[in-house]
Amino acid sequence: MIDIHERSEKAMTLSHKHSDKAEIFTVTNELLSIRIANNRIIESKAIGDTGVGIRLIRGDGMGFSSTTNLTDEGLQRAIDDAATMAKYRKIGFKYDFPYPKKAKPADIYDKPTADLLTDLDLVTEHAHTMMDASMGTSKKIAENSGIINILKINKQILSTNGVDVSEKSTGWSAFLTSTAEEGPEQREGMVTGSTVKVRDFDPAKIGRESAEMAVQSLGGKKIDEKDYELILLPSAAQCVVTELMGCTSPATMESSVPLLQDRLGEQIGSEKLTVSINPRRSGFAMAGAYDDEGVPAQELTLFDKGVFMASPYDSWYAQREEVEGTGHGFRAMSMTSGGTVYHGKMYHSEPATRAACLEMQGGEETVDEMISSTKNGIIVGVVWYSRIMLPTRGDYMAIMRMGTMKVENGEIVGGVQKFRLVDNILDIAKNIEMVGKPESLSHWHLPYGRMAPIKISKARCMPYHEV
């Protein structure tokens, strides 16, 4: 067993000779995945990954390197690389690593969840419970696919500025996609779940609800091309809102989607749109008391009643733009747009600003109230391929894939076929009319968070022929 604290200390000692300042980020990620398809478990697989990311300041330059070789020799090679880089990569402004600040502990570790990493029988049992609950819900359920991921992260951040943070966290995430069949028609339903603690894991509920969504969408009719009222259930709402939240990051504004550039303080969405990020929220998988630079993670309101209030910052972007850091420097895969390859911390990336753990402020309305107030609308359970297609203008597209049901004069009148939402992301934000009660959600392509069902007063929808 590698003692990551001892290795971090060693890296710190070795880096003294080569730098003015050093920051050592060491992490062990352990992940167990049980994959389901064709109504059975098809694979059990696990990742064990330990590495260190070393960031050095030397004169007016900064360098970063990482390695999985935690021997003295391996660490030295990474330090040498980072020091060489610092010679050529000039910072161009006054930068320093963060200084230590104490954060209140966050409730992010659960031993029974960690123990699941080696309790294959129990995880296998959970997978079967999800499938059995789905199959038992209706005879129309023909197929189930999905996954259970169990994650444990042990991270350590040390710096010459005195930061010394050790944090262990756990999480699980799971989802099941159920397919219902009636004659030649097939409809899907999907439900996700995630938290820090396995005691909150209810595999039967996931299975039952995904099956119910699939069965309820049967009898799908094709829609006409026009504007509809849309009721997006939390998973669908999360896809749409996440696209907008991604635009708040200074790195995204600079490199790919400049939609919100220079628009701080502007009314962007409707008054119903209040969204924050809260990486330390108890119960969020991937949460933490500290970000990946050792800065206490903060709750930050990005949109308050539709007004663009703030961008999240890591220390580098904050100091470059001469604003206060917000404690949102996370290790992600991409240097510009974030994103992770698997559920864990990426030691091989420098910290980058990331809007992690989205939390939509809930409203009072229930989904039933949204339905009863709808004259001509559609309910959507799950959205697929949600993208800003034209980044300078904000043209947005997504497939309304699962749980699609037509609402007329306040009542659900039957299922509708899949269709495409084609509208502008800013117009969608402006047209948020009602917001319901938030619930915890996760999926591999979305930040963990809490999202509410939302109703959009009008959005352009295009039908397409199904197979």
Per CB under 8 A, does 36 bind other proteins? yes
Which listed residue (5, 21, 89, 305) binds other proteins by CB under 8 A? 89
Q: In the complex, what is the shortest distance from the CB of residue 299 to other proteins, in angstroms, rounded to a whole number?
A: 27
Nearer to other proteins, 10 or 281 (CB): 10
Per CB under 8 A, does 322 bind other proteins? no
Q: Which amino acid is at 158?
A: L
**Which are the contacts of 232, defined by CB distance < 8 A and separation ≥ 6?**
240, 380, 383, 453, 454, 455, 456
Per CB under 8 A, does 66 bind other proteins? yes
Per CB under 8 A, does 72 bind other proteins? no
Stretch that binds other proteins, among 271-279, 304-312, 364-372, 442-450 (CB under 8 A): 442-450
**Which are the contacts of 122, defined by CB distance < 8 A and separation ≥ 6?**
116
Q: Which two tokens stand for residue 80?
A: 């040498």
Q: At what angle do helices 4-15 and 72-88 cross, to 10 degrees?
A: 50
Per CB under 8 A, does 76 bind other proteins? no
Nearer to other proteins, 418 or 455 (CB): 418
Nearer to other proteins, 165 or 191 (CB): 191
Q: In the complex, what is the shortest distance from the CB of residue 372 to other proteins, in angstroms, rounded to a whole number?
A: 31
Stretch that binds other proteins, among 94-102, 146-154, 157-165, 232-240 (CB under 8 A): 146-154
Per CB under 8 A, does 181 bind other proteins? no
Per CB under 8 A, does 74 bind other proteins? yes
Stretch that binds other proteins, among 75-83, 94-102, 226-234, 407-415 (CB under 8 A): 75-83
Question: Binders of other proteins among 192-251, rule CB under 8 A?
Answer: none
Nearer to other proteins, 305 or 348 (CB): 348
Question: Binders of other proteins among 367-386, rule CB under 8 A?
Answer: 384-386
Per CB under 8 A, does 129 bind other proteins? no
Per CB under 8 A, does 38 bind other proteins? yes
CA distance 140 to 148: 24
Residue 183: count of CB within 10 angstroms of its CB = 6
Question: Binders of other proteins among 1-30, rule CB under 8 A?
Answer: 2
Per CB under 8 A, does 412 bind other proteins? no
Q: In the complex, what is the shortest distance from the CB of residue 156 to other proteins, in angstroms, rounded to a whole number?
A: 16
Which listed residue (72, 254, 321, 408) binds other proteins by CB under 8 A? 254
Per CB under 8 A, does 63 bind other proteins? yes
Q: Can you give the length of the chain in residues?
A: 467
Q: How many residues bind other proteins (CB under 8 A)?
A: 95
Which listed residue (101, 199, 221, 387) binds other proteins by CB under 8 A? 387
Stretch that binds other proteins, among 18-26, 80-88, 211-219, 450-458 (CB under 8 A): 80-88
Per CB under 8 A, does 350 bind other proteins? yes
